[in-house]
């Protein structure tokens, strides 16, 4: 049986996790260090980030007829997702979240 290649990010970095079906692996953005007024926030007061960069995508949702639905997002997209969506994981010291494509609220454009 052939060994599967690890998922790759836009920068070419390999990951040990390949999302299944319509799930995506998102590298979370850093939480804000300061408020708009310039007040430094302690770690306990920082809000969980709701945006990040997609680093790996699944094959797409399996439909009833056996075909796969095409994913509308791709590796490298900057996205916003629901506050309590997905499952957080930590790989090599970096925080990631795995969410379903339907939990992604929007793609940020440059």
What per-residue confidence (pLDDT) applies to 41? 56
Which of the listed CATH numbers 2.30.33.40, 1.10.540.10, 3.40.50.720, 3.40.50.300 matches domain 23-108? 2.30.33.40
Q: What pLDDT tens digit does each residue of the chain (110 aa) get?
A: 333 334 444 445 566 788 888 999 998 876 555 555 666 655 555 556 688 999 999 998 988 998 999 999 999 999 999 888 889 888 888 889 999 999 999 998 87
Token pair in block for residue 78: 């900057």
In the chain, where the domains are located:
23-108
Give the Cβ contact number of residue 82 at 10 Å. 13
Among candidate residues 75, 69, 83, the one with its CA nearest the CA of residue 12: 75
């Amino acid at each position: 049986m052939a060994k599967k290649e690890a998922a790759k990010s836009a920068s070419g970095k390999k990951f040990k996790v390949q999302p299944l079906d319509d799930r995506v692996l998102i590298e979370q953005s850093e939480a804000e260090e300061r408020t708009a007024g310039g007040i430094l926030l302690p770690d306990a007061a920082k809000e969980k980030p709701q945006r990040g960069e997609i680093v790996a995508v699944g094959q797409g949702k399996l439909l009833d007829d056996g075909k796969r639905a095409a994913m509308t997002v791709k590796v490298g997209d900057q996205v916003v997702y629901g506050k309590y969506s997905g499952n957080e994981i930590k790989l090599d010291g970096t925080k990631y979240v795995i969410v379903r494509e339907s939990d992604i609220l929007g793609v940020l454009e440059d």
